[in-house]
Amino acid sequence: MRFDWTLLETFAAVGEHGSLSAAARATGTSQPTMSRHISTLEQEVGARLFERGVNGVALTATGASLMKHVEDMADAAARLDMVVAGNAETLSGSIRLTASDIVATYVLPALLTELRIAEPAITIELVATDTTENLLRREADIAVRMYRPTQSDIISQKVGELKMGMFASRSYLARCGMPESLEDVLQHDIIGYDRSTLIIDGFKQVGVKVDRDFFAFRSDDQVVCWEMARAGLGIGFNQVQLGEQHPNMVRIDAAGDVGSLPVWLTAHSELRSNPRVRRVFDFLAERLKQTMK
């Protein structure tokens, strides 16, 4: 039996996102269309592929078995697409780039402006997210990540370290005082993440045990956290070179060395042979290294 690839793509999307509505939002397809695709595929397979529940859908045993094959097909299709893209000879077209919210908001704009001036025929699509984009499936062509990727067939280049620091606005320090020690810091209003444990883990490394309730304000959006610190709500965290660019923000040294984050530039190995991707990759590698000196 030969299946319609459109039906299989819908099946894979629903399986990945766990509900018809979430898959519809992610793919830009209507929920009724996705429901119709799943029903058609179930009729062709002759078995239910999902169990419906109040919180979404879950794969049946048949669905899980089919999903493995569909994922293999998607990977093969992505590789074929990359081979075709790798044969492109021009420096025109689109590049999809993904980076964390902070890097996308405060680091990349100046660099991408330079790139636009140098290569006006290249269009950049920037996805600002702290989630992992799948390079193999072409969810992104190039990624800027704060960890070393382990995915197979990935070319990675470490471009530097981002030194982190604690900062507070001058208005907050005028109101609450400058902490003189780590113990003093713990008495202040600290801005932290909601689900991410990155800051909690950082405190743990210096011997301080806290939980999410310790934070005076929580958000997993790093840009929001930084803007709340700038507004004077409490003490926040950011890259030292970014924090020191704001005259209203004061770096707090009482807690000592906050540590640093590695920055890795990555692309799929087959896309790396594409002149357009290679140009953007090399440009970002050079400029990010210069930025983080």
Print pLDDT tens along the chain (293 aa). 567 778 888 888 888 888 888 888 877 888 888 889 988 988 888 888 888 887 788 889 888 888 888 777 766 666 556 555 555 555 788 898 999 889 999 999 999 999 999 999 999 999 888 776 555 555 788 999 888 877 767 888 999 988 899 999 999 999 999 999 989 999 999 999 998 888 998 888 888 899 999 999 999 999 999 999 999 999 999 999 899 999 999 999 886 777 888 999 988 877 667 888 889 999 999 999 888 76
pLDDT of residue 65: 85
How far is 272 from 222, CA to CA, in rounded Å?
30
The token pair that represents 15 in the structure block:
């399986």
How far is 33 from 29, CA to CA, in rounded Å?
7
Q: Which of 257, 250, 279, 281 is nearest to 268 (CA)?
A: 281
Q: Which long-range contacts (CB under 8 A, 24 or more apart) does 257-262 make?
A: 258/163, 258/164, 258/165, 258/166, 258/202, 259/163, 259/164, 259/202, 259/205, 260/161, 260/162, 260/163, 260/164, 261/146, 261/161, 261/162, 261/164, 262/146, 262/147, 262/148, 262/158, 262/160, 262/161, 262/162
How far is 285 from 197, CA to CA, in rounded Å?
29
What is the bridge-based pairing of β-strands 50-53 and 93-99?
A: unpaired
Phi, psi (degrees; rounded to nearest 5) at 72: -65, -40
pLDDT of residue 137: 57
Secondary structure (DSSP) of 141-161 = SEEEESS----TTEEEEEEEE
The answer to whether 194 touches 228, Cβ cutoff 8 Å, is no
**pTM of this prediction?**
0.65
Q: Where are the beta strands (DSSP E) in 189-246?
A: 191-192, 217-218, 236-239
pLDDT of residue 14: 86
pLDDT of residue 57: 85
How far is 185 from 203, CA to CA, in rounded Å?
11
